Chains A and B, each alone.
Chain A
Amino acid sequence: MLAQQYGPLQGKMLQIMDENGVILQTDLVPDRQDEAWLESYMTMLKTRSADNKALQLQRQGRMLTYAPNTGQEAAQVGSAAAMAEGDWLVPAFRELGAWLTRGVDLERVYLYWYGNELGSKFADGVRVLPISVPIGSQFQHAVGIAMASNIKGEDDVTVAYIGDGGTSIGDFSEALNFAGVFNAPVVFIIQNNQYAISVSRQKQTKAETLVQKAVAAGIPGILVDGNDLMAMYAATKEAIDRARDGGGPTLIEAYTYRLGAHTTSDDPTKYREDEEVEKWRAKDPVKRMKAYLIAKGIWSEEEDVRLIEQYDEEALEIFRKVEATGETELEDIFKYHFAEMPEHLQEQYDEYVQYLKEVE
């Protein structure tokens, strides 16, 4: 069991592939077709294209705030790729790779960051929760969803994400504790990207690793190279399988790095050295997976360039559609608070509509 070998107190990190895409541990390579790895890689590329495009558009003043994922694609895609059809995904707010893997439409994601709640209205059947802005609070929902699966006798598993900063919040500890007590089929993934806005991981806790927090909750934990797609897939798959088989929750620490800013509102050069960023750039998860696939003979530099171009164009096209939606419909801000709009709210709406008519 990987979670024993690379458990919270083992002082080891699961790595299957090195920084150059060379397999380090052949016996640990998950049993998965080449096409499946290629598909995951493509989702990583698509995530990065969508990221780059969003940042570009934001600088042009066309997109509002945006939280970039660059550098964390393997942690997101690798974990989400291990999920099965009916499984639930509970994101924090920086999980584009996971969302795309689980069938969320990029158009919705862009619409959300563009500033319209309709962006969180994912298609029916997509078992993905909306972005949760209050840090860590989504972990409770994940446990509740998983408890409900247990109560109903269904075997769906819930996968939830949080950042390194989120592990300091009470809801994180409460969620791990509840999940343990109720043996909830949930996999908690910490994307330890080393910074909570400007506060470094070292300032969040004196604990040597974040995954150590699993120990007190009495649940398995595993420290994983978050920039290694295969390692992330393997660790998550094992945790999901265990949860589905009645083995309860697991905490995964994906050791990774946010190459970009927290959001477009901050300047990371204020709180970290370029040297550190460059060190991590060498561990780029996209780069290493590309090297692996090319070495395997199932991908080429040319195809890569073409696909990036295609994704860039698609992302721009999708954004244009989003941009064309303009402003939020007035009715929309009123009508979704309750199944039926209460009288006092209807009155406020009517009064405003009347005002708009009068000033027209």
Chain B
Amino acid sequence: MAVMNLISTINHTLDQELERDQRVVVFGEDVGLEGGVFRATVGLQKKYGEKRVFDTPLAESAIVGTAVGMAINGLRPVAEIQFSGFMYPAYNQIVSHVARMRNRTRGRLNLPMVIRMPHGGGIKALEHHSESLDTLLGHIPGLKVVTPSTPYDAKGLLLSAIRDEDPVIFLEPSKIYRAFKQEVPEEDYTIPLGKAKILQQGTDVTVVSWGAYVHEVLKAGQLLAEEGISLEIIDLRTISPIDRETIIESVQKTGRFVVVHEAAKSFGPGAELMALVNEGAFLYLEAPPTRIAGFDVTIPIPRGEHHYFMDAKRIAHGIRRVANY
């Protein structure tokens, strides 16, 4: 077992899957020679050659659109969009074709493909490098949207995504690419898509989060534990489809529900989660389901970033109000 951070786990996982399955190809802007702007694909071109790991011209629509064609013609493309904020030129391909080809052809053409994107903010980057597009992707019928919060999960989820018979959007929280290391098994393992993970059992409030914020929520849980508030913390892991069962069961136990996410509050993923809590656990609720989420503003560039992105203290403050309701 090796100790790895998130980015080296992505690299290790792609490496293993390229080795195992000749149909896998990895490509995008700066992915080949340089190994990606975050170094997710470093060394892979050298090992597997320019046919299987390659740089593309700078054109997101064509990166995704050619992946569609490759998937139709028997490959398992893993395309990288350099930052999720650069996804928009490819959005037509994603919504109009990636998500629809199986349905359009009534099952004749399915698209086993993955689109990887560094996602979210808090890395003091320029404009367009810190976006949270959960809703724009999660809202589209025909897409699965996954986001890991640990190196261990990243490997299991990415292998599931690449081996899935349908397209998967794989959002990588760039803030925690190098934040910490964890033991990641060398051997092959998968984590099923669509399954959340209970990170901490608790009795007072169910808190659901995903991606980088999971770690702030865990810290908030420690702060609140000192005050005698016990959180049940769930890492959603798959944004779509949502693991409703795990969340509803938990809320039925705790009677309180908070969702914490980076994306802007209005029409955000939290609204969907609150709706399903209302539908599935209404009579168990002892406080209004609550969102702790991004402001409905354009995500600020570095000098204003700290106002937008929440730390454990601010998250704890929000959860405390629900606990004491």
Contacts and interface: CB of A to CB of B under 8 A. Distances in A.
Interface of A: 88, 90, 117-118, 120-122, 124, 129-130, 132-134, 137, 139-152, 158, 170-171, 174-175, 177-178, 181, 332, 336-339, 342-345
Nearest to B89: A170
A337 B103 contact: yes
10 contacts: A120-B106, A129-B109, A130-B105, A140-B69, A143-B65, A144-B65, A148-B72, A171-B92, A336-B103, A338-B144
Given A170-B89, A338-B166, A343-B244, A177 B97 contact: no
B254 interface: no
B71 to A, nearest CB: 8
Given A130-B104, A174-B61, A332-B106, A137 B96 contact: yes
Given A148-B73, A339-B166, A342-B241, A140 B108 contact: no
B73 A137 contact: no
Interface string B47-85: 000011000110101101111111111110100000000
A140 B62 contact: yes
A268 to B, nearest CB: 27
A145 B164 CA distance: 20
Contacts of B65: 137, 139-141, 143-144, 171, 174-175
B238 to A, nearest CB: 10
Contacts of A148: 69-70, 72-75
B72 A344 contact: no
Given A143-B65, A338-B166, A122 B108 contact: yes
Given A120-B105, A337-B142, 6 more contacts: A122-B108, A129-B72, A144-B68, A150-B51, A174-B65, A342-B194
A305 to B, nearest CB: 38
Nearest to B66: A144
A177 B71 CA distance: 20
Contact of B241 (A144, A146, A149, A344): A344
Nearest to B101: A130
B106 A118 contact: yes
A140 B166 CA distance: 19
A140 B68 contact: yes
B114 interface: no
A337 B59 CA distance: 27
Interface in B169-225: 194
Interface residues of B, number: 47
B203 to A, nearest CB: 27
Contacts, number: 140
Interface of A, helix, strand, loop or mixed by DSSP: helix
Nearest to B52: A151
B92 A145 contact: no
A347 B217 CA distance: 31
A344 B106 contact: no
A338 B69 contact: no
> Which of A140, A177, A344 lies at the interface centre, i.e. has the most chain B CB atoms within 10 A of its CB?
A140
A94 to B, nearest CB: 17
> Which of B66, B69, B142, B242 lies at the interface centre, i.e. has the most chain A CB atoms within 10 A of its CB?
B69
B51 A177 contact: no
Nearest to B110: A339
Given A120-B106, A121-B106, A141-B69, A178 B75 contact: no
A55 to B, nearest CB: 25
Contacts of B67: 144
Contacts of B241: 342-345
A336 B110 CA distance: 9
A96 to B, nearest CB: 18
The 4 closest A-B pairs by CB, nearest first: A144-B69, A140-B65, A144-B66, A148-B73
Contacts of B57: 174, 177-178, 181
Contact of A140 (B61, B107, B165, B194): B61
A88 B97 CA distance: 18
Contacts of A342: 194, 241
Nearest to A176: B62
A315 B70 CA distance: 35
Nearest to B167: A338
B102 interface: yes
Contacts of A140: 61-62, 64-66, 68-69, 93
B165 A146 contact: no
Contacts of B71: 144
B141 interface: yes
Nearest to B67: A144
Nearest to B241: A342
A130 B68 CA distance: 13
A111 B19 CA distance: 43
Nearest to B102: A336
Given A117-B103, A178-B57, A338-B166, A141 B108 contact: no
